[in-house]
């Protein structure tokens, strides 16, 4: 008998459309899971236009391109630690801001990244900011994740893009839909109406039943926090958006000290 680590849980956030709040949500979830005691890695897989480090006000966010090219051999040498006391720290793996060297990343690069993240046994969870679009690299990573979230907003264009994301995810996974999260909703009713519209289309046209995970309200404090390059939970810990993100994290489940499974030697 030998012990084999199960590896981290991969949680990916995509939307198709740009500007839906993927980076904000991924960062906020990373901080939330870290505060709950998980060992967290945030991978900024917005391979062309990485901006996680910018939202955090960091000078650099690690060196994902060097890891993918093999210039850096170890994941731990390519990440930077994000420490925002009194919050728990987490690691960030991003491309240096303004470099854009991974803008033409293909399926092979995404497969390589997914394999690398699945082997990242120093972490309980890897959160992946998929970036905008539904290109091959985005959908490859989306399909490899254990939990894939499709982030929609009440904006009709976001709904059509989210629908395409669901459709392509079903195709790549042989029928596993992403879970729906609504951002920038005016309230629970608005969010449910938005999610229902997407889930109805998925049901009618794709014969799929995506789950509804929850929503984050439209909150001007989010805009303010991003402008100040400070995390919302630091600037406004009591804000409704922070509470909503805690509820989303709880719906995803905490992965503390993931168990190791015994495997027979072949
Ligand atoms: N819950 C919210 N309430 C109010 N504004 C929000 C909320 N979430 C996001 N925003 C606004 O949306 C903008 C875009 O957010 P963010 O950069 O996280 O989106 P994105 O999906 O990562 O964008 P991109 O596709 O360009 O990577 C933010 O700068 C902020 O102004
Ligand atoms: Mg982004």
Q: What is the pLDDT of residues 127-164, one digit of tens each?
A: 999 989 999 999 999 999 999 999 999 999 999 999 99
User: What is the number of the ligand 1 atom nearest to the C-alpha of 27?
Assistant: 18
User: How many Å separate Cα 229 from the centre of its chain?
Assistant: 19
Q: What's the burial of 224, exposed, middle or buried (CB within 10 Å: 0-12/13-18/19+)?
A: middle
Select the more confidently predicted residue: 243 or 109: 243
Asked whether residue 264 carries a pLDDT value surpassing 50, the answer given is no
What is the percent of the chain where pLDDT is above 90?
A: 77
Q: How much is the pLDDT for 99? A: 61
Asked whether residue 169 carries a pLDDT value surpassing 70, the answer given is yes
Q: How much is the pLDDT for 101? A: 58
Q: What is the pTM of this model?
A: 0.93
> Can you tell me whether residue 158 is helix, strand or coil?
helix
- The predicted model gives 58-76 an average pLDDT of 91
Q: Which residue's CA is the closest to the ligand 1 atom numbered 23? A: 19
Give the fold, CATH level 3, of 10-251: Rossmann fold (3.40.50)
Q: Which of 17, 18, 20, 21 to mutate to test the pocket of ligand 1 (most atoms within 8 A of CB)?
A: 21
Peptide bond into 192 cis (omega under 30): no
* Residue 98 confidence class, pLDDT cut points 50, 70, 90: low
Asked whether residue 104 carries a pLDDT value surpassing 70, the answer given is no
Domain residue spans of the chain = 10-251
Each residue's pLDDT tens digit, 41-53: 999 998 767 788 8
Q: How much is the pLDDT for 263? A: 45
User: How many Å separate Cα 119 from the centre of its chain?
Assistant: 17
> Residue 15 and residue 20: Cα distance in Å, rounded?
7
Q: Are strands 40-44 and 90-93 parallel, antiparallel or unpaired?
A: parallel
Q: Which of 17, 19, 153, 184 to mutate to test the pocket of ligand 1 (most atoms within 8 A of CB)?
A: 19
Q: How much is the pLDDT for 265? A: 35
Region of poorest pLDDT, from 4-13, 39-48, 57-66, 67-76: 4-13
Q: Which residue's CA is the closest to the ligand 1 atom numbered 30? A: 223
Q: Mean of the per-residue pLDDT values for the chain?
A: 90
């Amino acid at each position: 008998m030998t012990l084999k680590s199960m590896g981290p849980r991969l949680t990916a956030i995509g939307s198709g459309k740009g500007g839906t709040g993927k980076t904000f949500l991924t960062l906020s979830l990373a901080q939330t899971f870290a505060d709950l005691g998980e060992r967290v890695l945030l991978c900024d897989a917005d391979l062309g236009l990485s901006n996680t480090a910018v939202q955090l006000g960091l000078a650099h966010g690690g060196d994902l391109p060097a890891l993918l090219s093999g210039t850096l051999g170890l994941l731990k040498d390519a990440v930077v630690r994000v420490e925002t006391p009194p919050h728990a720290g987490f690691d960030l793996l991003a491309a240096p801001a303004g470099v854009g060297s991974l803008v033409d990343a293909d399926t092979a690069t995404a497969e390589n990244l997914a394999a690398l993240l699945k082997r990242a046994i120093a972490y309980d969870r890897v959160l992946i900011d998929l970036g905008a679009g539904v290109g091959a690299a985005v959908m490859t990573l989306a399909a490899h994740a254990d939990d894939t979230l499709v982030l929609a907003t009440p904006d009709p264009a976001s709904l059509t893009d989210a629908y395409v994301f669901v459709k392509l995810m079903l195709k790549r996974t042989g029928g596993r839909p992403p879970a729906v999260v609504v951002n920038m909703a005016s309230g629970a009713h608005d969010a449910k109406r938005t999610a229902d519209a997407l889930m109805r289309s998925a049901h009618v046209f794709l014969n799929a039943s995506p789950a509804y995970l929850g929503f984050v309200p439209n909150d001007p404090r989010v805009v303010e926090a991003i402008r100040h390059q400070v995390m919302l939970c630091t600037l406004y810990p009591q804000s409704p958006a922070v509470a909503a993100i805690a509820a989303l994290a709880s719906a995803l489940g905490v992965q503390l000290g993931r168990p190791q499974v015994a495997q027979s030697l072949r």
